[in-house]
Structure 1
Amino acid sequence: MYSIGQFSVMFQLNKKTLRYYDDIGLFKPAFVDNNNQYRYYKEEQIAVMKEIIRLKDIGIPLDLISKILNSQEDTQITECYDIRLREIEEAQSLLEKQKQLILNYKKQSEYITDKPSFNIEKGYFIEKGFVYYMSINSGMEDIQKNIGLFYENAKGIYLKGSHIFKMNIDENSDSISEIFAYTINEDNDRVRNQVRELCIKVECEEMKLKAEGYQALFEYAEKNSLSIKNIYEKYKMEKGKMSLTILTSIE
């Protein structure tokens, strides 16, 4: 048998780690001396410890390692590999996005030091007509998924122009309440009549100016005693650059 000291040296593990594995039932010693509570391990436990270390090194959590060790099915370890690979790929994707953001910020001015000026326009920018719509209750993090679902459901419907997001500023609701686009089709349960709305709007030539664009609209509305009813966003891609139009209907 091997003492806990020998076993810790053999696997370069802290003795506290081995005691912790014992406490949680992951890896118990083969024998505990009743007189001094010293822990001892058998030779056949070496292979088990190697497996624990291998699984831990690839990021499998201890509770799942315990289930794998107690399972006789090879499919469970394969499923764990697949789950862990997806987690790694998602983490890599997130890190790559963050890397690109940092590189973009370094190329551009990282912070807007001067408050940008916006041209606020007033007019009937939300027109009367039939619109194909999809009601949702979602945050901006799911925007691409919802756009894809919107166009998938709209197959066979003639859409005029790009889609428009109807936003929600209620405290207990997510940021997007609806996606819609104008259509000539009338006979569809997802087509409704859009009323004409008087709006104020601002064009944000860069996405990083979105917050400032909203700020300008809200300040304009307050200064001119205008009551905001609905908020809309229209995105446009030109020459690889995304721009945004923000509209707020008023009364």
Structure 2
Amino acid sequence: MSSTPMPTCPKFIPVEGGEVCSRSKANGLRFSVVSYNILAQAYVKSSLFPHSPSACLKWKARSQAILTVLKSLGADFLCLQELDEYDSFFNMNMVNHGYASIYIQRTGIKRDGCGIFYKLDSAELLLEERVEYNDLVNSVPGEANAHGDKQNCRRTNSGSNVPPSKNTREDRGDPNDPLVRLKRDCVGIMAAFKLKGPFHHVVIVANTHLYWDPKLADVKLAQAKYLLSRLAKFKMLVSEKFDYAPEVILAGDFNSTPGDKVCELNFDFN
């Protein structure tokens, strides 16, 4: 018998007021969305998880445990962050359980990214857009593109065999240079879906992973504002293309806590 313990599978608990729509209407629309940072395998180090048995940290065990949890949730939409091994594991395994998906890998040498998995019997993909926060560099006056080319050259010359890690501020250059400060290789993805059923209902689901460093709170805020502006434009595009005003559901790992500027942003797209 395997010595690796089986994962404890969480259950859905409705948020306060989350059932108002279904209670007030006989045929109220109900669907489930899960946001889950599954921790990229490249960041799994025994020194960071000293209380976890080493066997549980190995990819063979972790991958099956994560898959078991995802299946048990049975959500209509799964928004996953730090998603790596997408092509080699998650995509094909989730297809076997009735899910299709869209995915964006982080820019640079890192192999993880953000994905949205959706049940084929619950939703139909209509339109998608991908967000690369390195585009913020282009908003800085001056030679942003030239600077970006230099950064890409340095990254390429470093070799693809360098193990991914959460970069420190020091290994990227002068953190006071806004071109260096904003180039963080973070991404997001958004998509419009038509919910299946005896109605015409379109929703937008977005998923992102903002930069982690608490000392670069301004970068996280810039990324969040950029995402909201892109979402507003995407909602307008979807509304015009499909003649329907969709609701917007924004999921992700914002690396923020209550009271941070990111949490205080207005997420009203109406």
TM-score bucket of the superposed structures, by smaller chain: under 0.3
Q: TM-score, normalised by structure 2?
A: 0.20
**Bigger helix share:** 1
TM-score, normalization by structure 1: 0.21
- More strand per residue: 1
Rg (Cα) greater in structure: 1
